[in-house]
Amino acid sequence: MININRERGLRFLYLDAGHMAEHLYLLATAYGFGACALGGAYDREVEKWIGIDGLQETLLYGVVVG
C-alpha cells in the first residue's frame, strides 16, 4: 500500500535539493565564484569524507564551488 505522506516527502526531498542547489549557484555567482553541479561521484568515498553513513543520510546532490 502506498503511504501518501511518505511519497510526498520523497518528492519534496528532490525538489528541495534542486532549490538548495539553485540558491548555491546564485550565492556563488554573487560572490564572484563559479559553481558546478556534480551528480556523478564515488558515493561511498564522499559519504566517508563528509561523515555520513549512506543509510540514514546519503549523498543526493553535489555542487562544487570555487
The residue (of 32 and 39) whose beta carbon lies closer to ligand FMN is 39
Helix, strand, or coil (residue 42): coil
Q: Which three cell numbers stand for residue 39?
A: 551528480
For position 36 contacting ligand FMN by CB under 6 A, the verdict is yes
> How many residues of this chain interact with ligand FMN, rule: CB under 6 A?
5
Q: How far is the CB of 2 from ligand FMN (least distance, A)?
A: 27
For position 39 contacting ligand FMN by CB under 6 A, the verdict is yes
Helix, strand, or coil (residue 65): strand
Q: Could you count the other beta carbons within 10 Å of the beta carbon of residue 29?
A: 12
